[in-house]
Every structure is written in C-alpha cells, then in structure tokens.
C-alpha cells in the first residue's frame, strides 16, 4: 500500500498488515511530537491515541488533526460535539441548504436538500416535551439556551439518519452525558 493510498482509500486500515501499521506509526510519531495537537495526543503517551485518530480519520475521509481536535472523552467514551456533527453534515458534500425548521420555541427539526436526487430530506422533530421526558433538561444549557440545544439535538438526529457512516456510531457529548444515571 502506498503512502498516498492511506489518505485516499476510505476503507484502508493502518491495522491491515505490518507495512500499513509501520507507516501509521510513523505518521502518529510525527503528530505526537507536535504541540499543536491536543494534550492527550502529545508525547510517547499520546502515540496510541494518534494511531486511533489516524484510523478514525481514514474511515471518515478527513484529516487526523480534525479528529484529534473534535474528539472528547466523556465517561471513558469517545464523543463528538454537536458542532462537529453539523460540520460533518455540511462539509460532506451530500447536502445543500442545511437548515432548521422551527415550530415556535417548542420544536425543531433539521432539513436539507440531498444532492444526489435534489430531494428535501428531514430529520426527526425534537421537542421540549421530548427533552423533558428524556431527562435532557437536567443540563443547565437547556435552562439557559433551550433553542440552541434543540437545534443541536435536531442536527444530531439528522446526522444519525443521513451520515451515520461518517459519524462511525460515535455518540455526541450530550448523548453520553444524558444516558448516565443521575446520582
């Protein structure tokens, strides 16, 4: 496998064979020596995290640095921010005119035009009633900026429905926090 194949082949894995793994380690070593990557990726201790970020980036067809800057560990699990999910939706090239429909301040859903067939597609409605029943409103952000939080959840639902392959099944920070039992 050539070095250029690593960045152009989405199903390429650095764990495929010894040559691929050795190349992945060289890449990871250069990244972990940079002070521009987040601290958990720096130094010898961060080398393994760099390898995982490179593997994830290959599967998503994005830069390893984007993965490093947008992966957060919440309760021991990797997670994306809702903003990263939105960036993935708008940057993947599959949609145009990504936006939200709102029913007052009580409900939001994401919508976009799918480029391959020019069809308008919609995510599920996210409502304040749903947020309360699911226990999401325990988070103080729901108290101070509920409309933004509705949009973030609507975008996450849209992402799960239409770009699940790019999100790799990784939950958002909010999803991980919200499924944890209340003490």
Which of 55-69, 88-102, 151-165 is predicted least confidently? 55-69
CA pair distance 57, 118, nearest whole angstrom: 28
Does 4 score more than 60 pLDDT?
no
pLDDT, tens digit, for every residue of 25-79?
999 999 999 999 999 999 999 999 999 999 999 988 899 999 999 998 888 889 9
What confidence tier does 138 reach under pLDDT thresholds 50, 70, 90?
confident
SS3 of the chain: the string is CCHHHHHHCCCCCCCCCHHHHHHHHHHHHHHHCCCCCCHHHCHHHHHHHHHHHHHHHHHHCCCHHHHHHHCEEECCEEEECHHHHHHHHHHCCCEEEEEEEEECCCEEEEEEEECCCCEEEECCCEEHHHHHHHCHHHCHHHHHCHHHHHHHHHHHHHHHHHCHHHHCCCCEHHHHHHHCCCC
pLDDT > 90: what percent of the chain?
70
Q: What is the pLDDT of residue 180?
A: 62
Pull the structure tokens for residue 181.
């039992």
pLDDT in tens, 101-120: 999 889 999 999 999 999 99
């Amino acid at each position: 496998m050539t070095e250029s194949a690593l960045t152009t082949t989405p199903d390429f894995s650095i764990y495929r064979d010894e040559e691929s793994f050795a190349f992945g380690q060289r890449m990871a070593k250069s990244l972990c020596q940079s002070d521009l990557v987040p601290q958990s990726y720096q130094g010898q201790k961060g080398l393994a995290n760099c390898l995982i970020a490179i593997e994830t980036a290959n599967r998503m067809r994005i830069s390893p640095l984007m993965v490093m800057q947008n992966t957060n560990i919440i309760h021991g699990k990797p997670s994306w921010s809702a903003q990263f999910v939105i960036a993935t939706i708008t940057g993947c090239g599959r949609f145009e005119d990504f936006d939200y429909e709102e029913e007052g301040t009580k409900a939001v859903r994401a919508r976009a035009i799918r480029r391959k067939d020019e069809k308008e597609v919609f995510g599920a409605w996210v409502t304040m009633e749903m947020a309360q029943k699911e226990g999401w409103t325990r988070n103080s952000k729901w108290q101070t900026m509920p409309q933004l939080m509705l949009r973030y959840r609507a975008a996450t639902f849209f992402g799960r429905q239409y770009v699940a392959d790019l999100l790799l099944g990784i939950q958002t920070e909010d999803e991980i926090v919200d499924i944890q039992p209340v003490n």
